[in-house]
A and B are shown apart, each in its own frame.
Chain A
Amino acid sequence: MTKFIIRRLLGLLPLLFGVLLISFILMKWAPGGPQAALAGNKSITQAEITQWLRRWCLQRETTPISVLQEFGGWLGVLNCDKDGLQAFTSDQGGLNFLPRALGGGDNGILHGDLGLGIRAGRPVLSLITERMPATLVLTTTALILWVSVAILAGLYAAVNRYSLFDQGLTFFSYVFYSLPTFWLGLMLIFAFAVRLDLLPTSGMITVRQWSPFNTPQYWAQFWNLDDPRHGPLAAIVDVGRHLILPVITLVAVNIAADSRFVRASMLEALGQDYVRTARAKGLASRVVVGKHAFRNAMLPVVTNVALEIPFLFSGAIVTETIFTWPGMGRLFIESVNARDYFVLMGLFLVTAVIVLIANLAADVLYAIVDPRIRYD
Chain B
Amino acid sequence: MADPIHTVDPAAQAGMAYPTAPLANVEQAEAAVAAGARPEDYEVALKSLNQWQLAWRRYRRHRLALVGAVILAIMAFLAIFGPIIWPYDPLDLHRIPGPQGIAPNLTEPFGTDNGGRSVFKLVVNGARLSMLIGMGTMAIAVTFGVAVGAISGYFGGLLDNVLMRFVDIMLTIPFLFVILVAARFFGAGDPIILIIIFGVLSWPGLARLVRALFLSLREQEFVQAARAVGVGHLRIAFRHMLPNAIGPIVVSATLLVANAIILEAFVSFLNFGLKSQDISWGNALARSQATLVLGNWWWPFFPGMAIALTVIAINFMGDGLRDALDPRARE
| Contact between chains at A175 and B177 (CB < 8 Å) | no
Distance in Å: Cβ of B314 to nearest Cβ of chain A: 8
A355 in contact with B175 given A318-B269, A336-B181 (CB within 8 Å): no
Verify if B173 is at the interface (C-beta below 8 Å from A). Answer: yes
**What is the CA–CA distance of A313 and B272 in the complex, to the nearest angstrom?**
18
A318 in contact with B173 given A23-B178, A30-B186, A31-B185 (CB within 8 Å): no
| Contact between chains at A189 and B308 (CB < 8 Å) | no
Verify if B258 is at the interface (C-beta below 8 Å from A). Answer: yes
Verify if B238 is at the interface (C-beta below 8 Å from A). Answer: no
A23 in contact with B173 given A180-B266, A187-B301, A190-B297 (CB within 8 Å): yes
Verify if A356 is at the interface (C-beta below 8 Å from B). Answer: yes
Distance in Å: Cβ of B180 to nearest Cβ of chain A: 6
CB-CB under 8 A from B292, the residues of chain A are 186, 189-190, 194
| Contact between chains at A175 and B265 (CB < 8 Å) | no
Chain A interface size, under 10 / 10 to 19 / 20 to 34 / 35 or more: 35 or more
CB-CB under 8 A from B84, the residues of chain A are none
* Residue in contact with A347 in the complex, picked from B177, B301, B308, CB distance below 8 Å: B177
| Contact between chains at A183 and B174 (CB < 8 Å) | no
CB-CB under 8 A from A313, the residues of chain B are 174, 177
**What is the CA–CA distance of A322 and B271 in the complex, to the nearest angstrom?**
12
Summarize A's interface: helix, strand, loop or mixed.
helix
Summarize B's interface: helix, strand, loop or mixed.
helix
CB-CB under 8 A from B311, the residues of chain A are 178-179
The stretch of A14-22, A207-215, A275-283 in contact with B is: A14-22
Verify if B327 is at the interface (C-beta below 8 Å from A). Answer: no
Interface residues of B (CB under 8 A from A): 165-166, 168-170, 172-178, 180-182, 184-186, 258, 262, 265-266, 269-270, 272, 282, 285, 288-289, 292-295, 297, 300-301, 304, 307-309, 311-312, 315
**What is the CA–CA distance of A353 and B67 in the complex, to the nearest angstrom?**
44
Distance in Å: Cβ of A179 to nearest Cβ of chain B: 5
- Residue pairs across A and B with Cβ atoms less than 8 A apart, 29 shown, are A14-B165, A18-B168, A19-B169, A19-B172, A27-B181, A30-B182, A32-B185, A174-B315, A178-B258, A179-B307, A180-B269, A180-B307, A182-B266, A182-B269, A183-B285, A183-B300, A186-B288, A186-B289, A187-B301, A189-B293, A190-B292, A190-B300, A194-B294, A310-B174, A313-B177, A314-B174, A314-B175, A318-B266, A351-B177
Distance in Å: Cβ of B257 to nearest Cβ of chain A: 12
* Residue in contact with A27 in the complex, picked from B165, B185, B307, CB distance below 8 Å: B185
| Contact between chains at A336 and B304 (CB < 8 Å) | no
**What is the CA–CA distance of A30 and B180 in the complex, to the nearest angstrom?**
13
